[in-house]
Amino acid sequence: MKFWRVNLIFLLVILLGATVIGRLIYIQVLKGDFYKAFAQGQQKFFAEVEGERGEIFLKDKNGGLYPLAINKDWQMVYICPPEIENKEEAAQKLAQILGLEENEIKQKIDREESLFEIIKTKLSEEEMVQLKDLEIAGVYSKKFFGRYYPQNELASKVVGFLGGEDLGQYGIEGYYDSFLRGEAEFQEGGRNAWVDLFLYNREEPDQGLDIVLTIDYHIQSMAEELLKETAETLNIESGQIIVMDPLSGEIIALANFPGFNPNYYFSEEEKSFQNEAVYHLFEPGSVFKPITMAAALDLDRVSPYTTYIDEGSLEIYDDTIYNYDRRVWGERTMTEVLERSINTGAVFAENQVGHKDFLNYVEKFGFFSPTDIDLQEEAFSQNRELKKGYEINYATASFGQGIEITPIQIVRAYAAIVNGGKLLTPYVVEGSRENQEKEEKNVISMETSAKLTSMLVSVVENGYAKGAQVPGYYIGGKTGTAQVSWASLGIDQKGYSDKTWQSFVGFGPAFNPKFLILVKLDNPQTKTAEYSAIPVFKKLAKYIIDYYEIPPDYE
């Protein structure tokens, strides 16, 4: 009898062991891929992170803050393909609810060997409501903690995004990644001053630091809206607007068209995430003429009243330089060279400077080096063709062809023209340049700055930039229309296409500037910047004047 009981207990132990072993085989072998992926997914998407990432804010003139990048709970939807019975129906319904391609979802459902496939992260509330009513076996939703960009496309190429490895990519997210993650160490000296620019609402030492940008929410919104309007009316391929305080280097707006939604960067692979305002090289055209004139004035080789005789063209060995529309202007002053944007007049001014000194001023104005703006991916050109010393290269560079620069470089150079001659470092994070030992170079004298500012006011009052006038205010500025080279289009061919870059750099009030604006439009369907960039500038300048409540210069 007692052997019967022992055998029964032994049998039960065997059955229990078999059950446990069977369950382990099921979990670790048969369902191993699923639970491994699910665990990794939980680590990546669902777990509470240690050291919450710092948040990013725009500001307004009254000190108000507008969230640009914050942290929040999200919902995601994922599937277990073997559990889905009607694959066609599941793909169709998920595509309809989530706004995805049905074939894309079907490919994931057909992966029978996979037990964990993410369909979409960061679901909207409307999508979640519809998913709750969707009763399909193998379709699941789950909450996870992640980055959220409440402004969607606004300032998207300024902020960048948080990538799949939880590392900041592009823009502020990339440049200040270590600060936002709470891993940056403040150094002795100037960097300690940066403590003041962050909002310390994080008590733990490993918590990220919040950042406030210099960019004004309202001006940024207006700039982006104007670019979108221009895309509709002039069919531009892309465009940039930069607004800067020329006395400090503070960037007030930095707008790009087209933008992207950083909440869904992974679904916008065809779009560029790079900030063209600091990354894209272009030939500036006639907006570069004031740089040439600055060198000539500063060396006292010309005055605003120096005259020369324009014959409409200029022979340089086997090449011929013409004015726009092949116009002949006769005897003209240097001020009129800027007013009428005369190419041969710019060549005349460069010849008075001399090639060596001209190159020196181009370098002093910062066109051979980065501006050091606090954004990722800044580009610059060494302009080696210009440095080769060919006569034709100096001539064309004097009026902005054959020299490559970025939009932020020309903005910084114009700021030096109107602020008394100081070449500033532009910045987009509040206070990041304060109390730092950052040398400000004087590229031209205050006297040169004053003369050239008056000449640029005359361009708006009497020249081709009359459309930029704002009643009651002195506005200065210069237009530029440059042909796009085949090389810039990625075509291995010398010469220029029919496409154009059209731009205008303006500032106001001219003799006590509160803002400087660059409007750059890529291939608008107009002949010159007079009809494309200037109307955009005027609308934005008037908006800023009203927004800042700047008193008029005259009745």
Range with lowest mean pLDDT among 71-75, 410-414, 483-487: 71-75
Structure tokens at 541: 């300048």
In this predicted structure, the answer to whether residue 202 has a pLDDT above a threshold of 60 is: no
Name the H helices within 299-444: 334-339, 343-353, 355-364, 384-387, 391-398, 407-418
In the predicted model, what is the mean pLDDT of residues 56-75?
Answer: 92
In the predicted model, what is the mean pLDDT of residues 201-222?
Answer: 81
In the predicted model, what is the mean pLDDT of residues 107-126?
Answer: 82
Give per-residue pLDDT as tens, 354-404. Answer: 999 999 999 999 999 999 999 988 999 988 888 888 999 999 999 999 999
- Kindly report the CATH number that applies to the domain delimited by 218-265+275-548: 3.40.710.10
Helices 289-298 and 343-353: crossing angle in degrees, nearest 10, is 30
Positive or negative torsion for Cα 134, 137, 142, 147? negative
Provide the pLDDT for residue 89.
82
Residues of the chain with CATH 3.40.710.10: 218-265+275-548
* Interatomic CA distance for residues 516 and 543, integer angstroms: 13
Provide the pLDDT for residue 48.
38
- Kindly report the CATH number that applies to the domain delimited by 69-150: 3.90.1310.10
Give the β-pairing of 251-257 and 307-310. Answer: unpaired
In the predicted model, what is the mean pLDDT of residues 469-491?
Answer: 93
Cβ pair 523, 490 in contact under 8 A: no
Q: What is the DSSP string of 172-200?
A: HHHHTHHHHTT---PPSSGGGGGGGGEE-
> Considering all CA atoms of the chain, what is the largest pairwise distance in Å, rounded to the nearest integer?
129
Contacts of 289 (CB under 8 A, 6+ apart): 337, 338, 341, 346, 398, 399, 400, 478
H or E element at residue 125: helix 125-132
Provide the pLDDT for residue 20.
56
In this predicted structure, the answer to whether residue 83 has a pLDDT above a threshold of 80 is: yes
- What integer best gives the mean pLDDT of the chain? 86
Give per-residue pLDDT as tens, 225-234. Answer: 999 999 999 9
Ramachandran sector of residue 187 (left: φ over 0; alpha: ψ -120 to 50; beta: rest): beta
Cβ pair 109, 84 in contact under 8 A: yes
**Residue 173 CA: distances (Å) to CA of 218, 249, 365, 425, 428:** 21, 21, 29, 20, 12
Give per-residue pLDDT as tens, 170-186. Answer: 999 999 999 998 886 43
**Max avg pLDDT among 42-46, 62-66, 294-298, 380-384:** 294-298
Q: Which of 418, 405, 510, 523 is nearest to 465 (CA)?
A: 510
Q: How many residues are present in the chain? A: 555
Residues of the chain with CATH 3.90.1310.10: 69-150
Structure tokens at 334: 């240097």
Q: Is 298 helix (H, G, I), strand (E, B) or coil?
A: helix
Cβ pair 252, 507 in contact under 8 A: no
In this predicted structure, the answer to whether residue 199 has a pLDDT above a threshold of 90 is: no
